[in-house]
């Protein structure tokens, strides 16, 4: 059974960098059968996909969402079997619950949905 365990601070000051980690149990961050996502949820934006990373053809692929594209980095860490989110220059608008998640898929060959989610981390950005 695959599980995702999130960790990181719940309070970040404006203009600083928000950093969260998602530790993977029961799967590998470098699997060819999935992708690793960060999603956030706030009353004003609803569920907002932030980005993903996956390993394909011996290289890492990164896709980022438009609203945070210039400020986001997702890093896989094969030595610790985890991936992280870094969002710089945060403002109070980045206050949200942040989730990591896995899609179980292999390219366009097969897709089984976003089947595993982390427990969520509430992050408040103070001004």
Residue ranges that bind other proteins, judged by CB under 8 A: 37, 46-49, 52, 63, 65-66, 99, 103, 108, 111-115, 117-120
- Minimum distance from residue 80 beta carbon to other proteins (Å): 22
- Minimum distance from residue 51 beta carbon to other proteins (Å): 8
Measured from the CB atom, the residue of 46 and 58 that comes closer to other proteins is: 46
9 touches 122 (CB < 8 A): no
CA–CA distances in Å: residue 121 to residues 16, 83, 108, 124: 17, 15, 31, 10
Measured from the CB atom, the residue of 59 and 66 that comes closer to other proteins is: 66
Taking the alpha carbons of 104, 105, 110, 111 in that order, is the dihedral positive or negative?
positive
């Amino acid at each position: 059974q695959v599980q995702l365990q999130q960790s990181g601070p719940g309070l970040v000051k404006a203009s600083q960098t928000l950093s969260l980690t998602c530790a993977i149990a029961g799967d590998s961050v470098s699997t060819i059968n999935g992708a690793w996502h960060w999603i956030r949820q706030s009353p004003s934006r609803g569920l907002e996909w932030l980005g993903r990373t996956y390993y394909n053809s011996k290289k890492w692929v990164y896709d980022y969402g438009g609203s945070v594209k210039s400020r986001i980095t997702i890093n896989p860490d094969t030595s610790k079997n985890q991936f992280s989110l870094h969002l710089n220059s945060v403002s109070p608008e980045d206050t949200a619950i942040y989730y990591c998640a896995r899609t179980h898929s292999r390219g366009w060959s097969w897709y089984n949905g976003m089947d595993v989610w982390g427990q969520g981390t509430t992050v408040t950005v103070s001004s």
